[in-house]
Structure 1
Amino acid sequence: MGLSSVYKPLDINNISLPNRVVFPAFQANFATSDGFVTERLLRMYGKIAEGGCGLIIAGCMAVSDDGVPNTNTLRINHDKHIAPLKELFAVIKKNGAVPAAQLIHAGRQTLSVMTGHQLVAPSAIPCPVMKETPVELDEQGIKRIQDDFADAALRAKRAGAELIELHGAFGYLIGGFLSPYSNKRTDKYGTDRSLFFTQIIEAVKSKIGDTPISCRISADEFVDGGLVLNDTKKIATRLVDAGADVISVAAGTYASMNHMSPTINMGEGIHANLARGIKDAVDVPVICSDNIRNLEFADSIISENKADLVAICRSQVADPFFVKKSLNKQQITECTDCMTCLYFLRGAKAASCPQNPQL
């Protein structure tokens, strides 16, 4: 099997990707406690860029202090974060990849002990995993956070990000608004659950112009009463109409963590069918993710028109030169599915990888 599809360049608006491999936003908890870039982050992203990945989405980056998902998450809610992020994006670009930024508000899927603020969400319903009851956002609070996303996107662009991703997956705040599982509102943000997200896209677009916007969504939440593909195909269409240039397909929420970070025994490319369903609904590039462990399989996803790009995380964490080694038919240091990179599931402070001790 060849690699002609996965190594084909792709133009999105004003950027040109050298290949179709994406390193998705990986919350390694390597930032400082107040959200600044560290040498460890520069090293990790620099090596993955040098290793041949086409698009690197750095993140996740919190747009509001009350939306920080963990203790050492990157933040982008103040102009003081621009200069260190400029260094990060410059390292990525210098080493051959296109730099991007993922923006997030964690909503109810964090803890006030981490944020220092009361949790907020579309409805005052606790996440069944985090178990802390949030406050239901009023319209003033909604507008504040929408403005935070727009301001953060402009900061990311000024710092050198060439694509902005809005995190609407996994049950975080935007995803929480999208889903009947977590949004029980009776106002316009409940009767039209896409409205919160489409207004953010429009606000971001007004700030960053032609810089491409990717919208990450859980195409199926795999929880009772949650979003399924028939819902998210319609949502994806709405997002594109609002200005999205890319749809990044994920799955799950905190209550279905096995779909957020599937193990290899769940099957190769476990969510490729979801990506194909979204691709059938929209006319913009689609990113497929989850259990894509080799470039031959990634190539087949693209050549079979299931997606336009493939997000490969853990394999590039285990071996930052995964892409170049695959092209050159060199031995790859394989991800063993040990899950130590998912530090939060085992009570660790940050990600690690026994296959990549220099991480």
Structure 2
Amino acid sequence: MTNLFTPYELKGLTLKNRVVMPPMCQYSVEKQDGIPTDWHYVHYVSRAVGGTGLIIVEMTGVHLDGRITNQDTGIWSDDHIAAYRRITDGVHANGAKIGIQLGHAGRKAVDAEPPVAPSAIPFDENSKTPAALTQEGIAEMIEAYREAARRAVQAGFDTVEVHGAHGYLIHQFHSPLTNVREDEYGADLALFGEQVVKAVKEVLPADMPLLMRISAKEYVDGGYDADYALEFCRRYKAAGVDMFHVSSGGEGPIGSNGGPNAGPAYQVDLAEYIRSGLQVPVIAVGRLESYQEAESIVKEEQAELVAVGRGMLSDPYWTLHAEESLVGAPNVPKAYERGTWRRK
């Protein structure tokens, strides 16, 4: 067996392979209520059928106004739990594990009136000026993350990922570009994220790992670099993060796709840097559609897990096709055995 298809264990989470479907917003909520629909059910369960080891549900708002748009999912109410339970049950029935990414868009919440942020700095000239969170507002936000994590556990998720990347709220707090507060949250830029991590950790079962997605580099003048990211990750690890999902960007005109010069595996060196610097497991992500590239990352111990985003949007069976290419005998569901995988 190739390394990409060896099992992986992290605390109480056991994955059948090293392939991850990363969070990717679907913008498909129909009633603006944040409740996932049949689209989300089919979208996630089909990737479980397709052989993925770990599926991470798209950035899910911990607050009504924390979503990027009103067409995004949320988990700010107990009314959301049943719809997520349906998805987790479907994924589990098809042999995969599933996590959920909890987040708040902060100043990038385009439908919020107004959005909120650490400081009253708009994302760009076309964006709304956010309201700077008060101390009370910060406390309420931390509680919102805690309650969202509690609901995620009730809904049957196997792990929780806190979104601290791509220019959203936690990233806004730990970036010097977007946090110019004059209180303790401005004096200690990692404090808010640290408190969120601790709050989430309090409601997770002891054997459930906590993941965190971070941007290890900002693509904008004056933005932070990987050395800076290593230090705030050190804080988040001490607060309870068990694995980092290492991305980049999200501030300024270049978003989280790395810009026009980003090629295959363009973020893997960042994941490897965080991994080696903190002796912590990581997920590598970023244009990893190549089966051979994904295999190499695990084989060379650059990352424990490999996230394939665009590749899985194009091909729900990316993992089965990768297994066919690398191993030669994919573990195809019985109903699909007459397909091209085992046709001689």
Q: Equivalent residue for 2:267?
A: 271
* Residue 237 (structure 2) aligns with: 240
Q: Secondary structure at the match of 1:266?
A: coil
Which of the numbers 246, 250, 255 marks the counterpart of 1:253?
250
Indicate yes or no: 2:27 matched with 1:24.
no
Q: Which amino acid aligns with 1:102?
A: Q
1:79 and 2:75 equivalent? no
| Residue 257 of structure 1: how far off its partner (Å) | 3.3
Look up the SS of the partner of 1:214 in the other structure: strand
Q: 1:265 Cα shift?
A: 6.1
* AA partner of residue 51 (structure 2): G
Equivalent in 135, 154, 161 of residue 157 of structure 2? 161
Contact 2:248 2:258 survives alignment (8 Å): no
- Is the Cα–Cα contact under 8 Å of residues 221 and 256 in structure 1 kept in the other structure? no
DSSP-derived class of the 1:86 partner: helix
In structure 2, do the counterparts of structure 1 residues 23 and 129 end up closer, same or farther at CA, with 3 Å as the change threshold?
farther
Distance 2:174 2:106 in 1: 12
Q: Determine the C-alpha separation between the residues in 2 that align with 1:172 and 1:130.
A: 17
The AA in structure 2 aligned to 1:319 is D
User: Cα distance, 1:306 vs. partner?
Assistant: 1.6
Q: Which residue of 2 aligns with 1:52?
A: 51
Q: CA deviation at 1:255?
A: 1.9
Cα distance, 1:71 vs structure 2: 2.3
The worse-fitting range, judged by mean Cα deviation, of 141-150 and 201-210 is 201-210
Question: How many Å apart are 1:109 and its aligned residue?
Answer: 0.7
> Which residue is equivalent to 1:286?
282
Instruction: Write out per-residue CA displacement over residues 24-58 of structure 1, whole angstroms, 9 at most, x where no aligned residue.
Output: 11101122321111111111111111101111001
Deviations 1:111-144 (A, max 9, x none): 2xx23x3211001100026521111111110010
Separation in 2, partners of 1:37, 1:66: 16
Identity of aligned residues (%): 35
Residues 243-301 of structure 1 show CA distances to partners (whole Å, capped at 9, x for unaligned) of 0011010110152435x124786321011111111111223210111011122101111
How many residues get paired?
Answer: 324
Matched, 1:219 2:206: no
Hey, what's the Cα distance between the residues in 2 that align with 1:106 and 1:130? 16
Report the equivalent of 1:347: none
Deviation at 1:186, TM superposition (A): 2.0
Paired position in structure 2 for 1:356 = none
- TM-superposition CA deviations, 1:146-199 (whole Å, max 9, x none): 000000001001000110000000110011001001111121111111110111
Question: Which structure 2 residues correspond to residues 74-223 of structure 1 after superposition, within 5 A?
Answer: 74-111=73-110, 114-115=111-112, 117-128=113-124, 130-210=126-206, 211-223=208-220
Query: Residue 349 of structure 1 corresponds to which residue in structure 2?
Result: none
Change (3 A) 1:62 1:250: same
Counterparts of 1:224 and 1:264 in 2: how far apart (Å)?
Answer: 17
2:11 maps to which of 1, 10, 13: 13
Aligned residue type for 2:215: S
TM-score (norm: length of structure 2): 0.91
Q: Structure 2 CA distance, aligned partners of 1:224 and 1:65?
A: 32
Aligned partners of 2:187, 2:251: CA distance in 1, in Å?
24
Q: Does 1:318 align with 2:314?
A: yes
Q: Is the 8 A contact 1:245 1:284 kept in 2?
A: yes
Q: 3-state DSSP class of the match of 2:139?
A: helix
* Native 8 Å contact 1:263 1:291 kept in 2: no
CA distance in 1, matches of 2:126, 2:240: 33
Counterpart CA distance in 1 for 2:253 and 2:279 is 29
* Structure 1 residues 264 and 187: CA distance shift in structure 2, 3 A: closer
Q: 1:265 to 1:228 in 2, by over 3 A?
A: closer
Aligned to 1:124, the other structure's residue is in SS state coil
Partner of 2:334: none
Q: Which moved more, 1:206-215 or 1:270-279?
A: 206-215
- Consecutive unaligned residues of structure 1, counting only runs of 5 or more, are 331-359
Match of residue 61 from structure 2:
62
Where does structure 2 lack aligned partners over 5 or more consecutive residues? 327-344
User: Which residue of structure 2 aligns with residue 327 of structure 1?
Assistant: 323
Letter in 1 for 2:98: P
Secondary structure (helix, strand or coil) at the match of 2:254 reads: helix
1:209 positional shift? 2.9
For 1:69 and 1:329, the matched residues in 2 are separated by 37
Secondary structure class of the residue paired with 2:144: helix
Checking the alignment, whether the CA contact within 8 Å between 2:20 and 2:56 is kept in structure 1 is: yes
Residue 335 of structure 2 aligns with which residue?
none
CA 92–296 in structure 1, closer or farther in 2 if over 3 Å, else same: same
The aligned amino acid for 2:312 is Q
Using the alignment, how far apart are the partners of 1:130 and 1:84 within structure 2?
Answer: 35
